Amino acid sequence: MTEYYLDASALVKRYADEAGSDWVRRITELDAGNTVMVAEVTLVEVAAALAAKQRATDGITLEERNRALSRFLQDCDEGFLILPVDRLVVDRSVELTQNHRLRGYDAIQLASALIVADLLTSQSLQPPHFVVGDRNLLAAATAECLPTENPLDH
C-alpha cells in the first residue's frame, strides 16, 4: 500500500480524460489499497475544473460533468482522506509563497502535504507521494524534499 497526496491538477484526471488519466485512475482505485489524501480545497478546485471542461468549446457535456462531479464527491465521502485546511496550513502556505513561485491554492496544497509528511515521518512512516502536474508546484515540492510524481510521466 502506498500513500498518495493528490492536488486538483492530478485528481481531476481521474474524472476527465487527459494525459496521465490512466495512471491516476490506477493509483486511486478504491480497491488498489492505496491511501489517497486530498486537502478540503481540492473539492472546490476539482468541481471548478470539471465545470470549466463543460463550458469549454468542444468540452464535456452537462451530463458528463454532472456524472463526474457526482462520482468525485462520492469518492471523497467514501474513499479519500480529506485533510482540513486550518490555520497551521494557512501559516505554512504563507511561508511557502515567500520561498517558491506558487499561486495561493498551490501553496495550500503543498503546505497540507508537507504537514502530513511531517506527521508521518515523526511516526517513522514514509511521507506520501505528492502527485501533481504543475511544474512550479513540483519544483517547490522537490525543494522541500517531498517525494513527487507527475502523472504526465506515466
pLDDT tens column, 14-28: 999 999 999 999 999
CA angle 17, 83, 93 (to 5 degrees): 95
Q: Write down all domains in the chain, each with its CATH number in brackets.
A: 3-153 (3.40.50.1010)
Q: With CA atoms as reference, report the closest residue to 125 among 134, 133, 116.
A: 116
Residues 67-87: tens digit of each pLDDT = 999 999 999 999 999 999 999
CA angle 6, 143, 15 (to 5 degrees): 15
Q: What is the mean pLDDT of residues 112-138?
A: 97
Radius of gyration of the chain (CA): 15
